[in-house]
A and B are shown apart, each in its own frame.
Chain A
Amino acid sequence: MKATFPRFGYDTYALKTFVEDLGGEVILPPPTSKRTVELGVRYGPELICMPFKLTLGNFIEALEHGADTLFMAAGAKKCRFGYYHYLQDRALARLGRDYRLVPVGQYTPYSFLFRVMPAAFSVSSTRVIRGVCIMFEKSRLTQYFRTLLNQRRAVDFAGAERLLPEAIRLVEGAKTVTQIRHARRRLAAMFERDGRRPGLTIGLVGEIYYMIEQYSNQEVEKELARLGVEVVFERTLFHHLLHLLGVDPSYHRSRRLARRYLRECPGGEAIRTVGEAVHFVENRRVDGIVHIFPFTCMPENIALEALQQLSEDTGVPVLSLSFDEHTSRTGLLTRLEAFVDLVQRRRRGDDN
């Protein structure tokens, strides 16, 4: 079996380790590119949201590279995401490819551990549980790696970029718990920033796919760091996995903090977006919030209104950015620069 799944930022490696640990051969889709987007746009419905187009593009490219089993997260609730696999199945079948699509229900962890995964890889559930543990450890590593990278980039952009290829090799190569721990120590030493402090901190919140897959958000994190800003974030695969198991303390904190704006979960990740933004503003004292989401995303548009209100209440600037295949990079950079400028002035205390 040649398994594949859509790209998911640095967490692609966490998922890859999981599948490989179960004995599957992984064929990763080539890094998301303009071609991926074009394929997704051509074969997907016109009005659907961006993550669908990117993941479909990923699948088509992975099939071209010889993959035959596609894993896709599923689980229909209020957000469109849970229905992606129906449409992907339809689009790929139309293309006449030979493949097997395995929808992986997100909200049924027991069926995942004891039914879906053992059946897909013909292994025992004990093996699956071991794999999940390694995936946890690895996703914690990628989260740590991203934090370190953001910190170093903010004070020494060129240096951090030089270290990046080797760091990615380290992250990708760590396959057992011991190796992961080792990689963790190595990364900490590599990205040491010798007490240099960044000028500004900005909290990044938004829809989970956009928070993790850098191609989709046109590398907002990197561009902000280039302007000397340290980006803090919380949404990662690690927290998502904990949340799916119902043991994520940060989710409950977000729920509590978001309550003053959203009384009921409108689906997707809106509660977390708002809760994290409040947390960043109140407890981590960030200078601004950047909110990223796919164009026409339903829950995030509700969160957007709440964030506007938060900005009004606390005075912390909020920039909401929605992306689709037509978003221009130049326009984005201009907006980011203007925003950082605004945040900087506000921090210096002159409002004119």
Chain B
Amino acid sequence: MRIGLPRALLYYRYGPFWEKFFTGLGAEVVVSRRTDKALLQSGLAHVSSEVCLPIKIAAGHLLDLRDRVDVVFFPRMVWLEDRQYACPKMIGIVDIARMVLGGRVGLLTPSIKGDFAMPHLLAGLRVNANPAAVLRAYHRARPELRRGGCTETGRADRSVALIGHFYNLEDDYVGHTIRRTFERSGYRVLVKEALPEAVLRGRCGFARAIRWVYERELYNAFQSLSTRSDGACVVVSMGCGPDSLVAEFMHDDAEKRRIPYLQLVLDEHTGTAGLVTRIEAFVEMMERRRATTRAA
């Protein structure tokens, strides 16, 4: 059996785990190709123009898999512990996937509601009917879920906090450009993936009110990372509902604490040249600030 994994959204967090899990079950895993212009274009034709960039990209990845696999594995994240929801579009994209793919390929879409293991085990049974094999494969793949916690807490010489959803930052289309531009300017990029779970899931201040699981992570990461970097760059996608709200609070905090703040809004028309220019200008501003604080 050939199982397709779209290289979009949750893949950037659980991808290695899924690959290992399904290979362990004896299936052949096919991951869609890296995001490029043509892939995005094909996705645009299939979803409404108003949804955010990652959803459009996800539609492109689904189309890329359409003719190559038997089954597409595309789980639906509804909520994780503590009734923290994923965003409406991430829940709904799974239904859109059914419409995009048509009847041609099977779709394996376990719903994750609080419990992570059970939906995966049940989905595994659909691939390999032997329960013992499923359990074994799950157990073997589980180490992939653990993310590397923070190793260094000290303040680097030049660093910038890059705050954004993992599926935006790790995507090849624009995310990599942002990171590379900062690194080329000699800045170390701090992302939320480097922080320990306990910090990301914290419930202090406004984070307590946020009921979107990934948004709470962003807000906590901002609070924690911006204090030990020279500036914060927040990447949001046009049309992202949760971001439009939480970024506003981050902006406020940055203003209050006088942290250099840059907000980049991504959509399908975003060109790399424009991004690079804005980032370079931001870097220059941080440099000037460093010079003045040293002089004072």
A214 smallest CB distance to B (angstroms)? 22
- Residue of B whose beta carbon sits closest to that of A303: B92
B244 lies within 8 A of chain A by Cβ: yes
Q: Which of A250-265 contact B (CB under 8 A)?
A: 261-265
Say whether B91 contacts A78, CB under 8 Å: yes
B252 smallest CB distance to A (angstroms)? 7
Known: A47-B238, A296-B50, A301-B51. A80 touches B245 (CB 8 A): yes
Q: Which of A271-287 contact B (CB under 8 A)?
A: none
A328 smallest CB distance to B (angstroms)? 17
Say whether B91 contacts A266, CB under 8 Å: yes
Q: How far is the CA of A86 from the CA of B207 in the complex (A)?
A: 12
Q: Which of B13-63 contact A (CB under 8 A)?
A: 47-48, 50-51
Q: For residue A76, which residues in chain B have a CB less than 8 angstroms away from its CB?
A: 209-211
Say whether B85 contacts A77, CB under 8 Å: yes
B117 lies within 8 A of chain A by Cβ: no
A interface size (C-beta, 8 A): 38
Say whether B245 contacts A302, CB under 8 Å: no
Say whether B244 contacts A47, CB under 8 Å: yes
B256 smallest CB distance to A (angstroms)? 12
Say whether B245 contacts A83, CB under 8 Å: yes
Say whether B209 contacts A86, CB under 8 Å: yes
B145 lies within 8 A of chain A by Cβ: no
Say whether A266 contacts B92, CB under 8 Å: yes
Say whether B242 contacts A80, CB under 8 Å: yes
Q: How far is the CA of A262 from the CA of B93 in the complex (A)?
A: 10
Q: How far is the CA of A178 from the CA of B88 in the complex (A)?
A: 43
Say whether B50 contacts A302, CB under 8 Å: no
Q: For residue B211, which residues in chain A have a CB less than 8 angstroms away from its CB?
A: 76-78, 82
Q: Which of A47-106 contact B (CB under 8 A)?
A: 47-49, 76-80, 82-83, 86-87, 90
Q: How far is the CA of A265 from the CA of B95 in the complex (A)?
A: 10
Q: For residue B87, which residues in chain A have a CB less than 8 angstroms away from its CB?
A: 78, 298
Interface residue range, chain B: 35 or more
A203 smallest CB distance to B (angstroms)? 20
Encoded as 1 (CB less than 8 Å from any A CB) or 0, chain B from 88 to 118 comes to 1101111110010000000000010000000
B239 lies within 8 A of chain A by Cβ: yes
Q: For residue A47, which residues in chain B have a CB less than 8 angstroms away from its CB?
A: 236, 238-240, 243-244, 247, 265
B78 lies within 8 A of chain A by Cβ: yes
Q: For residue B212, which residues in chain A have a CB less than 8 angstroms away from its CB?
A: 78
A268 lies within 8 A of chain B by Cβ: yes
Say whether A301 contacts B48, CB under 8 Å: yes
- Residue of A whose beta carbon sits closest to that of B238: A47
A305 lies within 8 A of chain B by Cβ: yes
Q: For residue A301, which residues in chain B have a CB less than 8 angstroms away from its CB?
A: 48, 50-51, 89, 92
Known: A264-B111, A301-B89, A305-B99. A87 touches B248 (CB 8 A): yes
Say whether B89 contacts A266, CB under 8 Å: yes
A149 smallest CB distance to B (angstroms)? 31
A235 smallest CB distance to B (angstroms)? 18
Q: Which of A18-71 contact B (CB under 8 A)?
A: 45-49
Q: For residue B244, which residues in chain A have a CB less than 8 angstroms away from its CB?
A: 45-49, 80, 296
A295 lies within 8 A of chain B by Cβ: yes
A340 lies within 8 A of chain B by Cβ: no
Contact for B89 among A90, A298, A308, A309, CB less than 8 A: A298
Contact for A302 among B88, B242, B243, CB less than 8 A: B88
Say whether B85 contacts A267, CB under 8 Å: yes
Say whether A296 contacts B94, CB under 8 Å: no
Say whether B91 contacts A306, CB under 8 Å: no
B179 lies within 8 A of chain A by Cβ: no
Say whether A87 contacts B85, CB under 8 Å: no
A232 lies within 8 A of chain B by Cβ: no
Q: How far is the CA of A149 from the CA of B236 in the complex (A)?
A: 44
Q: For residue B95, which residues in chain A have a CB less than 8 angstroms away from its CB?
A: 261-264, 266, 302, 305-306
Q: Which of A201-220 contact B (CB under 8 A)?
A: none
A270 lies within 8 A of chain B by Cβ: yes
A322 lies within 8 A of chain B by Cβ: yes
Q: For residue B92, which residues in chain A have a CB less than 8 angstroms away from its CB?
A: 262, 264, 266, 270, 299, 301-302, 305
Contact for A322 among B50, B86, B96, B249, CB less than 8 A: B50
- Residue of B whose beta carbon sits closest to that of A86: B209
Q: Which of B223-259 contact A (CB under 8 A)?
A: 236, 238-245, 247-249, 252
Say whether A267 contacts B206, CB under 8 Å: no
A154 lies within 8 A of chain B by Cβ: no
Task: List residues of chain B with CB under 8 Å of any chain A CB.
Answer: 47-48, 50-51, 76, 78, 85-89, 91-96, 99, 111, 206, 209-212, 236, 238-245, 247-249, 252, 265
Interface pairs (5), CB distance under 8 Å: A86-B249, A87-B248, A305-B47, A305-B96, A306-B99
Told that A83-B245, A261-B95, A322-B50 touch, could you supply 16 new A-B pairs with CB distance under 8 A?
Answer: A45-B245, A48-B248, A49-B244, A76-B210, A77-B85, A78-B87, A265-B91, A266-B89, A297-B241, A298-B87, A298-B89, A299-B92, A301-B89, A302-B88, A305-B47, A309-B99
